[in-house]
């Protein structure tokens, strides 16, 4: 009898734990934001003194807002798609970002909600991006995810998703992605990824995968035109190569050879 009661008691406890979805998905009702907005971007950021790490000053918030508006237009022009929704940016201070969004050195997007989350910090390295913005706190990467997903459809592969984001941002960790790939070519050739590896070896570290994906996407756009690459954006992994052949009217093998020559010819 005691054993039965213990067994049933354990079952009840286990069921109770399983019933608490908050163990693995905890609601986080953040409502302490300052808001600055323009016609396309709504920037949520923390007030001064919110946490131990610095919050953006009003000037820095205005700078971020203006840059994101610039990227918003540039992304549309690059992928030849119109987009007119407001994008919500939630900018956490670096110390609280790890707890709330999982990283203190970047962010992620939720395109379905026209939103992305990012951590605010002052990078040590001076950098000017491909749009001429000096030392941007936030690049175009997450905004590309939102706009591309909402105008082209949801990507079928990590290659296309991160390829577009890195191509249109142009940088990874405040270094130009072309320069990173050239460095890998000349010093760490095992970190140069072929198109097949980009399609199937998606577990490679971000510092290897992202620059390679961005450079490869830039190559495809340059070689075949943005409209064809856009049509490949939503192809799943299983049909990606066959869709490539059909859309681009080219052989995957030939393209691999052209890409290898392209990498060899990349200027430092």
Partner 1 sequence: MTPNKHSGKEILIFIFILLLFPVRHGRAQSFPEDSSRFQVSTGVFFYRSYSQQKTDMPMRSGYPVLKTRTAVLGLNYRKINERATHLLSGQVSVPAAMGSDNGTGRNFLLQKAGSRYTFLNMDYRLTWPLLKTGAFVIRHGMSSGLFFEDRHLAYQGNASEATRDWNIYLGPSLQSGYCINKNWKITGEFDARLYVPFLNYGLLRKSNSSGQLFFKRAYHSFFYQALFRLLLNYKRVSLGVVKSDLAGFASREPDFETEGMLHHKLDRHFSIQMSVAL
Question: Which residues contribute to the site for partner 1 (CB under 8 A)?
Answer: 8, 11-12, 15-16, 18-31, 33, 35, 42, 44, 82-86, 88, 90, 100-102, 108, 110, 112-115, 117, 150-158, 202, 234, 236-237
44: which strand partners? 35, 90
Q: Phi then psi for 49, rounded to 5 degrees? A: 80, 10
CB of 179 to partner 1, least distance (A): 28
Rank residues 42 and 140 by Cβ distance to partner 1 and give the closer one. 42
Which residues, at least 6 apart from 224, have a Cβ–Cβ distance to it below 8 Å?
Answer: 248, 250
Rank residues 86 and 122 by Cβ distance to partner 1 and give the closer one. 86
CB of 260 to partner 1, least distance (A): 26
Q: 54 — alpha (psi -120 to 50), left (phi > 0) or beta?
A: beta
Rank residues 28 and 190 by Cβ distance to partner 1 and give the closer one. 28
Rank residues 225 and 236 by Cβ distance to partner 1 and give the closer one. 236
CB of 18 to partner 1, least distance (A): 5
Handedness of CA 76, 80, 81, 82 (dihedral sign): positive
Handedness of CA 85, 150, 231, 74 (dihedral sign): positive
Contact 99, 60 (CB under 8 A): no
The span from the CA of 235 to the CA of 192, in Å, is 23
CB of 27 to partner 1, least distance (A): 5
CB of 251 to partner 1, least distance (A): 24
Rank residues 58 and 153 by Cβ distance to partner 1 and give the closer one. 153
C-alpha 211: how far from chain center? 12
Rank residues 11 and 123 by Cβ distance to partner 1 and give the closer one. 11
CB of 177 to partner 1, least distance (A): 22
């Amino acid at each position: 009898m005691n054993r039965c009661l213990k067994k049933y008691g354990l079952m009840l406890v286990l069921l109770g734990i399983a019933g608490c979805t908050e163990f693995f998905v905890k609601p986080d009702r953040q409502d302490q934001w300052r808001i600055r907005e323009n016609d396309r971007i709504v920037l949520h950021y923390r007030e001064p003194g919110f946490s131990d790490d610095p919050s953006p000053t009003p000037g820095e918030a205005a700078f971020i807002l203006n840059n994101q508006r610039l990227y918003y237009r540039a992304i549309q022009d690059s992928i030849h798609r119109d987009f007119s929704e407001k994008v919500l940016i939630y900018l956490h201070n670096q110390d609280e970002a790890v707890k709330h969004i999982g990283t203190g050195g970047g962010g992620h997007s939720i395109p379905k909600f026209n939103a992305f989350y990012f951590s605010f910090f002052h990078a040590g390295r001076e950098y000017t991006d491909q749009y001429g913005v000096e030392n941007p706190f936030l690049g175009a990467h997450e905004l590309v995810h939102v706009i591309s997903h909402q105008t082209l459809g949801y990507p079928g592969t990590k290659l296309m998703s991160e390829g577009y984001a890195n191509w249109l941002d142009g940088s990874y960790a405040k270094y130009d992605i072309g320069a990173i790939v050239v460095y890998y070519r000349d010093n760490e050739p095992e970190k140069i990824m072929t198109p097949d590896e980009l399609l199937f070896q998606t577990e490679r570290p971000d510092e290897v995968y992202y620059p390679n994906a961005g450079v490869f996407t830039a190559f495809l756009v340059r070689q075949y035109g943005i409209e064809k690459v856009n049509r490949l954006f939503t192809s799943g992994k299983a049909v990606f190569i066959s869709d490539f052949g059909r859309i681009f009217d080219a052989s995957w093998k030939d393209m691999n050879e052209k890409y290898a020559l392209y990498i060899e010819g990349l200027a430092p």
